[in-house]
Structure 1
Amino acid sequence: MTVLSNICIGVASVAMVVLVVTFGWLVFGRYVLNVTPTWVEQLALLLICYIAFLGAAAGIKEDTHLGVSLFRDMMPKKVQKYLMVIIDLMLAIFGAVMLYAGITLMIFGWDTLLPMLEIPESFRTLAITSCGGLIFLFAGSRGVLRILRFQNWQPDPQELDI
């Protein structure tokens, strides 16, 4: 799972570099060449989808997503164990819903082309679909592992951080 998470971060990082380079080309084309490359905006929207969704999926794996742990931390250790499993399973269900909705959107948008890029709209919704599948995989596997070691599990101090 760590390798998959690192791949997500790597792809999002490359997309960020491409985003910066294309905006540099936009500024150069507009102000130096006096010819504005119109495709940059559509490419930027596509890249931001991948940056955000792949980063979110990696955040679920690394457990760095936004969470409020105040109430969980106030509970006894045994209740904390149950809550952490419930949270993982809820995240997995959310990821499964995202995956299903993303597949539906991909099928719906396959015949529509992104303006100026001339690629199917489904390439944009692929980011949503892959994020949903990765969240399902990351949170679901963590929840299953916690259930399997439920008897001997003690909360890791890093897992209790926000």
Structure 2
Amino acid sequence: MKNTEKLMDHLCTLCILLASIALVILIATFGWLVFGRYVLNATPTWVEQLALLLVCYITYLGAAAGVHQQTHLGVTLFRDALGRRLQTYVKIFTDFVLAGFGLIMLLASVELFNFGWDTMLPMLDIPESFRTLSAALCGGLVFVFAGLRTVFRVMCLFSGIDYIEKEAF
């Protein structure tokens, strides 16, 4: 269980690293856009399409990392008002639903990926599927992160061990 959690932590770190690199590239390309437009008087038209693609990866990878770190916005007032045992059941249910959502997102995004393979992104001349790949990755990561957390919580519940919540930071 500890090795799997460590692996998931590394996967989450990789998501954050890739999203951070995409953000740096996004900022650099917009710097090039401004320089090209106002200094060279030749606007690079591909920047907008690349920005749309990068924003998808930044958003989806960040969302998957947020699921793993449990930093997404959530209303926990009612859950926190419950007893400890009921809180555990609610957390298991929430993680189970979240894993189901991730699986549905993965399957739907793979279908979109296959559908968009023959359509090219304008100005970038790459398949449209590269945009939906980010959603498929996110769905798969949410499924794995939330699904494993569900399994760990259930294992801890049946063995009488408290599941240790990790701090986000």
TM bucket (normalised to shorter chain) is: over 0.9
C-alpha contact (below 8 Å) 2:23/2:54 kept by paired residues: yes
1:39 is aligned to 46
Residue 158 of structure 1 deviates from its aligned partner by 6.1
Aligned residue type for 1:9: I
Asked if 1:139 corresponds to 2:139, the answer is no
Question: Normalising by the residue count of structure 2, what TM-score does the alignment of the two structures yield?
Answer: 0.91
> Given that residues 91 and 139 in structure 1 are in contact (C-alpha distance below 8 angstroms), is that contact kept between their aligned partners in structure 2?
yes
For residue 33 of structure 2, what is the aligned residue in structure 1?
Answer: 26
1:4 aligns with 2:11: yes
Aligned length: 160
Of 99, 102, 108, the match for 2:115: 108
Q: Residue deviations 1:36-55, cap 9 Å, x none? A: 00000000000000000000
Distance 2:111 2:140 in 1: 13
Query: Aligned equivalents of 2:76 and 2:161: distance in 1?
Result: 18
Amino acid at match of 1:13: S
8 Å CA contact 2:156–2:163 kept in 1: the answer is no
Q: Is this contact kept in 2: 1:8–1:54, CA < 8 A?
A: yes
* Residues 61/158 of structure 1: CA separation in 2 closer, same or farther (3 Å cut): closer
**Mapped partners of 1:134, 1:83: distance in 2:** 21
Other structure's SS at 1:43 match: helix
Q: For structure 2, which runs of at least 5 residues remain unmatched after alignment? A: 1-7
Q: Which residue of 69, 74, 90 maps to 1:67? A: 74
Taking structure 1 as the reference length, the TM-score comes to 0.95
Q: Does residue 1:86 correspond to 2:93, yes or no?
A: yes
Cα distance in 2, alignment partners of residues 156 and 65 from structure 1: 18
CA distance in 2, matches of 1:101, 1:157: 31
Equivalent pairs: percent with the same residue? 57
Q: Following superposition, which runs of at least 4 residues in structure 1 exceed 6 angstroms of deviation? A: none
Q: Please tell me the root mean square deviation across aligned C-alpha atoms, in Å.
A: 1.4
Per-residue CA deviations over 1:62-105 (Å, capped at 9, x if unaligned) read 11111110000011111101000000000000000000000000
Aligned 8 A contact 2:156 2:162 in 1: no
Unaligned runs of 5+ in 1: none
Retained in 2: the 8 A contact 1:146–1:153? no
| 2:64 equivalent to 1:57 | yes
Could you tell me which residue of structure 2 aligns to residue 117 of structure 1? 124
